[in-house]
Amino acid sequence: MDIACEGDRAKLEEFMKMLQGRKGERHAVVMQDFPDPDALSCAWAYRQIVAGMGIETDLIYGGRISHQENIALTNLLKIEVLAIPTDQSIDKQRYQGSVFVDNQGTTSNLVDRLEKNGVPVLAIIDHHAPQDRLKPLFMDIRPIGACASILTDYIYLGALNLVASNLKHKYLATALMHGIISETASMIRALPMDFFAAARLQPFYDNDLLVDILHQQRSHRGMEIIRLALENREIREGVCLSGVGYLRASDRDSIPQAADFLLTEETVHTAIVFGIVTHSNGEEVISGSLRTTKSALNPDAFIKEGLGRAASGTFYGGGKASAGGFEIPLGFLSGSEDEDLAKMKWDTFNAKIRKKFFGSIGADNP
């Protein structure tokens, strides 16, 4: 029988085995720095599954939640998450293990701090291409639409007995469904496994709540960033590139939204939007998102080939089917003391990134 419809029982058994004998532990459930609904729902599912085994969890991330929909999600569903700012250390004794959901540690700035504390990596549950950054005891990476579908599979196979009248279960099912919907562009990019997961959640989730979460409006700043992306776009060979300049960390989620928007233009099959994001500690990072409708284009390879590696050997980003992202820390070049310097810096990075991506598709010269 196809694993997609039957579920992967062997993986669940392996997962449960990893959790054996861990009663009384506290686990760090690590999400990417800018957690999206997929990550949030997966982390929450992990918390509810292991709570029944006497394991405590903190759902942590190193950046911030900025997208209106995600703020609504955590507020409406009462998901308790913990932001750990980049300048804050993590208590050495606090965690007996770390678990990575919807990421493999390459998009979280918490990894170094956890490693420094000697926290063992227990699990990676993800749907992005394998990244080899961490060596976990348990690994479940499936190339499907949403990571939430993997956690839903565990639940469906018995990791958690959902009860329709239990409010916490209802909220969790709603969060997982929202994770699947938002991660698959409303099921357009869903694979069989995602459809099965959605069907299995249907008896438990709250329709009205789902509508409330989905219908959050964009902020003025978000609209402004989309306008900038539209104005600054350059299209070559179906690839649309746009730099939006400097933005605050709280507006970071407008970048993928702008990429989604640019992708709707006829003849465009791939959109990349990027900007310089300033974190609260003054550190700057070039943050970018890629969206594509071209099935022959592999976002993971496209980003890795386009931008290459940092001096440390790690790639600046990667992706999964139809989407990807990258982060290039500016380090010494962080901070803009005066306007001219800031402009010069942006112009340089803007030109460099355009050259890299257009170069990799053989369209360096307009």
> Judged by CB under 5 A, which stretch of 50-58, 97-105, 224-232, 273-281 contacts Mn ion?
97-105
Q: To the nearest whole angstrom, how small is the minimum distance from the Cβ of residue 366 to Mn ion?
A: 35
Q: Which is nearer to Mn ion, 102 or 253 (CB)?
A: 102
Q: To the nearest whole angstrom, how small is the minimum distance from the Cβ of residue 160 to Mn ion?
A: 20
Q: To the nearest whole angstrom, how small is the minimum distance from the Cβ of residue 67 to Mn ion?
A: 14
Q: To the nearest whole angstrom, how small is the minimum distance from the Cβ of residue 311 to Mn ion?
A: 28
323: contact with Mn ion by CB under 5 A: no
102: contact with Mn ion by CB under 5 A: yes
Contact 106, 131 (CB under 8 A): yes
CB closest to Mn ion, residue no: 38
125: contact with Mn ion by CB under 5 A: no
> Judged by CB under 5 A, which stretch of 35-43, 152-160, 166-174, 250-258 contacts Mn ion?
35-43
194: contact with Mn ion by CB under 5 A: no
Q: To the nearest whole angstrom, how small is the minimum distance from the Cβ of residue 201 to Mn ion?
A: 16
> Judged by CB under 5 A, which stretch of 33-41, 78-86, 225-233, 247-255 contacts Mn ion?
33-41
> Judged by CB under 5 A, which stretch of 48-56, 96-104, 169-177, 289-297 contacts Mn ion?
96-104
Q: Which is nearer to Mn ion, 102 or 194 (CB)?
A: 102
- Taking residues 36 to 65 in sequence order and writing x for each that binds Mn ion by CB under 5 A, - otherwise, the string is --x---------------------------
The pair of three-digit structure tokens given for residue 63, joined into one six-digit string: 């950046």
Please give the Cα distance from 93 to 182 (Å, whole number): 36
- Binding-site size for Mn ion (CB under 5 A) equals 4
147: contact with Mn ion by CB under 5 A: yes
Q: To the nearest whole angstrom, how small is the minimum distance from the Cβ of residue 344 to Mn ion?
A: 36
Strand order in the sheet with 82-83: 82-83, 56-61, 26-30, 97-101, 121-126, 138-141
> Judged by CB under 5 A, which stretch of 19-27, 115-123, 130-138, 141-149 contacts Mn ion?
141-149
Q: To the nearest whole angstrom, how small is the minimum distance from the Cβ of residue 181 to Mn ion?
A: 12
| Residues making contact with Mn ion (CB under 5 A) | 38, 102, 147, 183
